[in-house]
Amino acid sequence: FPVAVTGGGSIKFKQQLGEVADLHIIDEMDSLINGMDWMLRYCPEECYYLKQYTFEHEIEIATYTEEINYPYLVVNIGTGASILKVDNPGRFTRVGGSALGGGTFYGLSRALAGCESFEEALQMAAKGHATNANLLVRDIYGGNYDQLGLSGETVAAYFGKFVRSDGMKGCSKEDMVKAVLLMITNNISAVANLYAHKVLKVPRIIYTGSFLRNNTISLQSLAHGSMYWSEGKVNALFAKHEGFFGAIGSMLMRKTDKH
């Protein structure tokens, strides 16, 4: 019987795979959304949020117990990032995205620090201090910028200290990798929350994708960003079974013969 496959590889290697199996190719985003939506409907404790997300303390995870109503946004972060608005079961629209993502993080980490794997890059980031590379508001104003409500700790320019003649002194490879990770994550967070709270008026964002796997720093940054942009009203949501939605969706869609 046909083997359900999804993802970029199912298209790229269609000819080779077709020589050994009868393929049932299902679109990557179709399988993702259908799998996630099914889990949200039938596994009420699928989502969680970070009850404690500041970098000064250990994260504290809590199960999200409220019903997730339509519409909601899915931010899928892999090589890049896609922002999808889900209106009802099986119906979604890609409303935006970013060319920044896991591919950017790993690529820049290899270029700047010689990392040999994504996991090594995450380990280096965990040891780094991004403030040794990033220019902060306090570096410009000497403290907070009260007129705009900006804390002195707010990043004014990622890697902004490097424009100074001595800016790279004391900045380690770990510091640079940490700065790259925060630059990517915070930009995705800002774009996603702009769509959710300003453009589309969608109350919930669920973050998923391989970029977030074992990536505590990005989870914390996304949690902080959601609270910041929603003025403390909305938690960023994450999925316990991230990584399985494509397979679940493919199984469901093959069973219902939608493809």
**Which among 206, 200, 160, 194 has a CA at the least distance from the CA of 179?**
160
Pairing of strands 205-208, 72-77: parallel
What's the per-residue H, E or C state across 182-202?
HHHHHHHHHHHHHHHHHHCCC
**Which among 98, 90, 80, 79 has a CA at the least distance from the CA of 36?**
90
Name the maximum alpha-carbon separation found in the chain.
Answer: 68
Q: Which residues contact 34 (CB under 8 A, 6 or more apart)?
A: 89, 90, 248, 249, 252, 253
- Residue 62's alpha-carbon distances to 19, 27, 46, 114, in angstroms, are 46, 32, 11, 36
Residue 19 three-state SS: coil
Q: Which residues contact 138 (CB under 8 A, 6 or more apart)?
A: 144, 152, 153
Q: Annotated catalytic, 46?
A: no
Which one is catalytic: 19, 28, 56, 120? 28
DSSP E strand stretches across 17-145: 23-26, 47-52, 60-63, 72-77, 81-88, 91-98, 135-136
Residues with active-site annotation: 28
